[in-house]
Amino acid sequence: MQYTTLGRTGLLVSRLCLGTMNFGPNTTKEDSFRIMDEALELGINFFDTADVYGWKQGEGITEQILGEWFAQGGNRREKVVLATKLYNPMGYGDMAEWPNTRYVSKLHIRRACDASLQRMKTDYIDLYQMHHIYRAAPWEEVWEAFEVLQAQGKILYVGSSNFAAWNIAQANERAAKRNNLGLVSEQSKYSLIQRDIELEVAPACESYGVGIIPWSPLGGGVLAGVMKGQGGERRYGDWTKHIIETQGEKLQAWEDFCAELGEEPADVALAWTISKKYVTAPIIGPRTSEQLKGSLRALEIELTEEHHAKIDAIFPPFKTAPEHYAW
């Protein structure tokens, strides 16, 4: 396994991040345990989850699965760099629509953190991430809340997800005034099929030393060989159909290129994200052990400048703003 530091921190994480969103809804608890054990055996130490995963409001099913797995001992918790998120509605029962059971107010940050710690049977979270930007909360409130949790030892680092570039800049500038480390990571939707973050988010992250953790690096499965009947996650059924209809020629060219390399499209797509200097680790979301083990091939693929040029010819990149649209 290859390791790198998380953004500008000294924290070492694996170049592949194990996404757990399938644990519960699509993968049984027993299979989830097996996948996590195998991930550790393979050297993957970076696990990502969210309080909302499991998709039963307020229950945190996926976090509960991780908690039961940690409780088995064997230094499982100590070996894992644990990342989770807050923002989405977590009230249930007569609290389902009650105020302050979502977003990132100081009150909800405190409650959400304690609930996640309880579900995951741990006393700290390595990387606590805001799942989305919440424009109503001033950064003074947000950073004050996170600083309290850091002082209590409940969280170590703070990250964002689905933020715009100016959100990242504003958050870190406000943090700097408080002598706070600020955001160290940004989880963004990034793949060959959606390269939008290259316009502003990636340059901002690179400038501030914020490591990018791409989610959906296979474009919902369409980069995994969908033209030959592979890839295409069930939850992205409509998306897959739309992309095939609108970008079928590109996908066919992509798969032909991968065939010339003698590699599986999914592995090349992951290798491409890893090759970007601002990327810390793409998130892989295996439903099976076979998918997990197959992902490791991406770490062995070396893409040359010629390869990148051919890929860019298929999926055109974005220039940094304003050059992309100004001249």
What is the reported pLDDT for 232?
Answer: 52
What is the reported pLDDT for 241?
Answer: 85
Residue 191 contacts residue 149 (beta carbons within 8 Å): no
Peptide bond into 214 cis (omega under 30): no
Which amino acid, residue 66?
L
Of the candidates 77, 54, 73, 184, the residue with the CA atom closest to the CA atom of residue 125 = 77
Q: How many residues does the chain have?
A: 327
Q: Is 134 a catalytic residue?
A: no
**Cα 167 to Cα 201: distance, rounded to the nearest angstrom:** 9
Of the candidates 51, 117, 119, the residue with the CA atom closest to the CA atom of residue 89 = 51
**What mean pLDDT is predicted for residues 13-31?**
96
Selected catalytic residue, list 3, 53, 128, 325:
53
CATH number where 239 lies: 3.20.20.100
User: Which helix (H) or strand (E) is 15 found in, with range?
Assistant: none
Q: What confidence tier does 229 reach under pLDDT thresholds 50, 70, 90?
A: confident
Return the minimum-mean-pLDDT range out of 7-21, 80-94, 202-216: 80-94
Q: How many structural domains comprise the chain?
A: 1
**Cα 55 to Cα 24: distance, rounded to the nearest angstrom:** 9
**What mean pLDDT is predicted for residues 136-155?**
98
24: tokens are 């519960």
Q: Phi, psi at residue 26, to the nearest 5°? A: -115, -15
Q: What confidence tier does 231 reach under pLDDT thresholds 50, 70, 90?
A: low
**What mean pLDDT is predicted for residues 89-94?**
88
What is the reported pLDDT for 235?
Answer: 46
Q: What domain range includes position 62?
A: 3-326
Q: Which long-range contacts (CB under 8 A, 24 or more apart) does 60-64 make?
A: 60/90, 60/115, 60/116, 60/119, 61/23, 61/24, 61/25, 62/20, 62/21, 62/23, 62/24, 63/116, 63/119, 63/120, 64/119, 64/120
277: tokens are 């200097």
Q: What is the mean pLDDT of the chain?
A: 95
109: tokens are 């940050």
> Does the pLDDT of residue 233 top 70, yes or no?
no
323: tokens are 């050059």
**What mean pLDDT is predicted for residues 198-218?**
97
Q: What's the Cα-to-Cα distance from 310 to each of 25, 255, 279, rounded to whole Å? A: 38, 12, 21
Ramachandran class of 196: left when φ > 0, alpha when ψ lies in -120 to 50, beta otherwise: alpha
Residue 291 contacts residue 324 (beta carbons within 8 Å): no
What is the reported pLDDT for 240?
Answer: 80
Instruction: Dump the DSSP string for 178-211.
Output: TT---EEEEEEE-BTTB-GGGTTHHHHHHHHTPE
